[in-house]
Amino acid sequence: MRVLLTGSAGFIGSHLTEYFLDAGHQVIGVDNYLSGQRQNTERFLAHPCFEFIEADVSAGLPSVQEKLDWVLHFASPASPPHYQQFPVETLMVGAQGTQNGLELARQHGAKFFLASTSEVYGDPLVHPQPESYWGHVNPNGVRSCYDEAKRYAEAITLAYHRHHALDIRVIRIFNTYGPRMRADDGRVVTNFVSQALAGIPLTVYGDGLQTRSFQYVDDLVEGIVRLMNVTHHTPVNLGNPDEYTVLDFARIIRDRIDPALPIVHESVPADDPRQRKPDISLAKQLLGWEPQIGLERGLELTIQSFQQHAKLSEPPRPAEHWSPL
Amino acid sequence: MRVLLTGSAGFIGSHLTEYFLDAGHQVIGVDNYLSGQRQNTERFLAHPCFEFIEADVSAGLPSVQEKLDWVLHFASPASPPHYQQFPVETLMVGAQGTQNGLELARQHGAKFFLASTSEVYGDPLVHPQPESYWGHVNPNGVRSCYDEAKRYAEAITLAYHRHHALDIRVIRIFNTYGPRMRADDGRVVTNFVSQALAGIPLTVYGDGLQTRSFQYVDDLVEGIVRLMNVTHHTPVNLGNPDEYTVLDFARIIRDRIDPALPIVHESVPADDPRQRKPDISLAKQLLGWEPQIGLERGLELTIQSFQQHAKLSEPPRPAEHWSPL
C-alpha cells in the first residue's frame, strides 16, 4: 500500500516511516521542519519506497499522482516549548492542516488517520481517562494553542466522517518516548536524560508529585498498525498505564546515569496537568493491544540512543522555554 | 470610526449594524448568506455609511482601502439545525474565518472583537457559569462542530493577542432573542413563537425541565458597545441570568398567543445541555452592565415583530432538523 504521512520528520513520524518501509509499503513523507528533524528524512532518503516532500501542510498538501491508500496526519509541534513558541502555526496545523489531509484523503478515496493526543483531556478530573471523558481544558490558557487545535482536529475529522462518509481513525497518544526525540524538546524524558548525560542537575517543575505514564514508541507504532487493520471511527487511547511521579522518574533516570546528580525544583508552568494516565480498555478489547516494553527496557534503549546520537555539548535549558508567553 | 463586521446579515449582526449606523459610524458588512438573511442587508443598503460585501470569510476577507478601527467577527451558523447542516463550514468559519479577521485587524492596526458563545461551556457541571469555568464539551459529538470551532476561535484570538500584541475583545453570548431571528432557526424562542402564531402545538424536547436564560438582543448590543470602550482581553459573559425551564417558557409564549394550544414532547437531541445560566459578575463590575429588558417586554417586542414580518404560512418543523447526523 501507499501512505502519505505528514510530520514524517518528527519523532513518531520517523518510527512510523521506518515501520511502513520495513513492511514493504510506499511512504510519501511530508514535513516543513518546524519541529521535525532533517536527519529523520535523511535516514530514509536512499530507500526506494520512500519519497519526501518539504511542505507546510497547513498551507496545502502537494497533489499526488499515485493512488493513496492512507493519509496519516502526524504533523504538529507537540512539546510545550515548541508549541508555545509557535502557537499560531500549532493552531493552523490542527485546523487547516487536518482539513488539507481530510480533503486529500477524499480525493483519493483513501482512509484518514489522525494523531490526536491525551492533551484533549487537559488537566483531567477523571482518572484514569477513558475515551468517553470529555476533558478539562482551559480554552484560553498558554497550552490552548495545542489542546484546542487537537480537539478541533478531532471534531473536523468526525465531521468529515459523518458528513462525507470518510473512513477515519483517531488515536489519542499519551506521553511517548524513545530514540530520536529531540534533545531540546523540553519533555520530561529528554530533559532528564539530556541533563543527566550532561552531568548537570535534573530539573523538576513543582513538587514533582504530578504523575505521568510513559509509553515506549515501539508499543505506540504497534497500536497504530493494529488500528489501521480494524474499522473503528471514534478515538482510541494509546498509552502505557504504568504511572510514575515525575520525581520518581527523575530519580530512576538519574540513578541509571549518575546517582550523584542533584534534582532541583522550579516553578510549575501554567495549566500543567496533575495526573495523566490512559484507560486502555478499548484498545485491549478492540486491538488485543497493550504495551510490551517496560520502563527499564525502554529507558535503556533510549539512553543508549541518546549516548550514541545526541549532541550533548549544549544541554537544553527548559526553564526558559517554559515561561508563559 | 469604521468597523468591518462579519456576519452582518445575521440576527445579531443586523442589530449591531443598526446600532453603529445610528451612532454615526461607518460599517462594512460581510456575509455569504449561509445562514444570514438578505433582508438584513437590504434594510441598510440605502444608508450612506453602510457598505456590503458578499463573501465567505473562511475563504478570505476582502482588502479594504480605508483604515479600519475594528474588525468584529460575528459570522457563523449559530443554531443547532444550521450548524449541523453545515458542520464543515461551521468549523471553518471558527478557524480560517477567525484567523482571516485577526490578520485583517493586524494589517490595519485595528482592534479585533470575537463573538464567542456560552456553548464553549458545553453541558456545564458548574452552575451558573463564570468565565473561569473551563467547560464540559464533547469534542466528537454532533454539536462539536460549533462548540469546538468557538473554543478554537477563542484560543487563536488569545494567541494573536499574546504573540502579536493584537488588541482583542472576546464575548461569550448566551441565548439571545428578539426581532429578525430566522423563523426556521430551530431555537426555542423562534420555534415556540412561530408554532403558536401558526396555531400548531408547541414542541418541547425531552421533559422540558432543562433550563435556559434568555437575553433580549438590545441588552446584548449595549454590552458589546460597552466592552469596546474598555480594555479587557479575556472572555466576558453577556447574557441574562433570569432562568426558566423550557416548559415554563413554552407556557408563557403559548399563553400570550393562544392558551388553547397543546404542548407536545419529542425526544431530546444528543448532548443537549441541561442547564445554562451566565454568571455576569465580571460584566457588571467591568462594564456596569446588566440586562434591562425583562422577558415579558422582550417577548412582546419579539412577537410583534414576528406578527409583522415573519412569513408564517410554512411553520418550521424543527424535529426533522434535529435528528443526529
pLDDT at res. B315: 46
pLDDT at res. A310: 55
**Domain assignment of residue A226, yes or no:** yes
Q: Are strands A243-245 and A211-213 parallel, antiparallel or unpaired?
A: antiparallel
pLDDT at res. B153: 98
Closest Cα in chain B to A135: B136
pLDDT in tens, B120-167: 999 899 999 999 999 999 999 999 999 999 999 999 999 999 999 999
| Same domain, yes or no: A114 and A195 | no
Total domains in chain A come to 2
**Domain assignment of residue A283, yes or no:** no
pLDDT at res. B273: 75
> Which residue of B88, B148, B159 is in closest CB contact with A151?
B148
**Domain assignment of residue A281, yes or no:** no
Partner-chain contact A142 B154, CB within 8 Å: no
Q: What is the mean pLDDT of chain B?
A: 92
* A interface residues, B as partner, C-beta within 8 Å: 87-88, 91-92, 94-96, 99, 120, 122, 134-140, 142, 144-145, 147-149, 151-152, 154-156, 158-160, 162-163, 170, 234-235, 325
| Same domain, yes or no: B252 and B146 | no
Residue span of the structural domain in which A263 resides:
178-213+242-276+293-322
**Domain assignment of residue B289, yes or no:** no
| Same domain, yes or no: A229 and A252 | no
Lowest mean per-residue pLDDT among A15-24, A313-322, B263-272: A313-322
pLDDT in tens, A244-257: 999 999 999 999 99
Q: CATH code at B80?
A: 3.40.50.720
pLDDT in tens, B10-48: 999 999 999 999 999 999 999 999 999 999 999 999 999
Predicted confidence band of residue B310 (pLDDT cuts 50, 70, 90):
low
* A321 vs B233, more confident: B233
Predicted confidence band of residue A313 (pLDDT cuts 50, 70, 90):
very low
| Same domain, yes or no: A221 and A255 | no
Q: How far apart are CA A106 and CA B88, in angstroms?
A: 14
Partner-chain contact B158 A144, CB within 8 Å: yes
Q: CATH code at B305?
A: 3.90.25.10
| Same domain, yes or no: B169 and B263 | no
pLDDT in tens, A215-226: 999 999 999 999
pLDDT above 90 coverage of chain B, percent? 83
Predicted confidence band of residue A187 (pLDDT cuts 50, 70, 90):
confident
**Domain assignment of residue A110, yes or no:** yes
Q: How far apart are CA A26 and CA A40, in angstroms?
A: 16
pLDDT at res. A294: 93
pLDDT in tens, B277-305: 999 999 999 999 999 999 989 999 999 99
**Domain assignment of residue B41, yes or no:** yes
Predicted confidence band of residue B188 (pLDDT cuts 50, 70, 90):
confident
**Domain assignment of residue B26, yes or no:** yes
Interface ipTM: 0.91
Q: How far apart are CA A24 and CA A1, in angstroms?
A: 8
Q: What is the mean pLDDT of residues A134-148?
A: 95
**Minimal CA–CA distance to A158: which of A148, A146, A167?**
A167
pLDDT in tens, B89-125: 999 999 999 999 999 999 999 999 999 999 999 989 9
* Known catalytic residue at B146: yes
| Same domain, yes or no: A109 and A187 | no
| Same domain, yes or no: B131 and B194 | no
| Same domain, yes or no: A33 and A61 | yes
- The active-site residue out of A19, A33, A83, A146 is A146
Alpha-carbon dihedral sign for residues B136, B142, B143, B149: positive
Partner-chain contact B136 A134, CB within 8 Å: yes
In angstroms, the Cα distances linking A122 to A125, B26, B123, B137, B142 are 9, 42, 17, 12, 21
pLDDT at res. A314: 45
Q: What is the mean pLDDT of chain A?
A: 92
Does residue A316 surpass a pLDDT of 70?
A: no
Q: How far apart are CA B55 and CA B53, in angstroms?
A: 6
- The active-site residue out of B146, B177, B205, B216 is B146
Q: How far apart are CA B2 and CA B20, in angstroms?
A: 9
Predicted confidence band of residue A213 (pLDDT cuts 50, 70, 90):
confident
Size of interface A-B (CB pairs under 8 A): 115
Does residue A85 surpass a pLDDT of 50?
A: yes
| Same domain, yes or no: A72 and A123 | yes
| Same domain, yes or no: B11 and B140 | yes
Q: Is B52 helix (H, G, I), strand (E, B) or coil?
A: strand
- In DSSP notation, B168-179 reads EEEEEE--EE-T
**Domain assignment of residue A288, yes or no:** no
Per the rule left: phi > 0, alpha: psi between -120 and 50, beta: everything else, A113 is: beta
| A25: Cβ contacts below 8 Å, ≥ 6 apart | A1, A2, A3, A49
| Same domain, yes or no: B92 and B204 | no
| Same domain, yes or no: A51 and A66 | yes
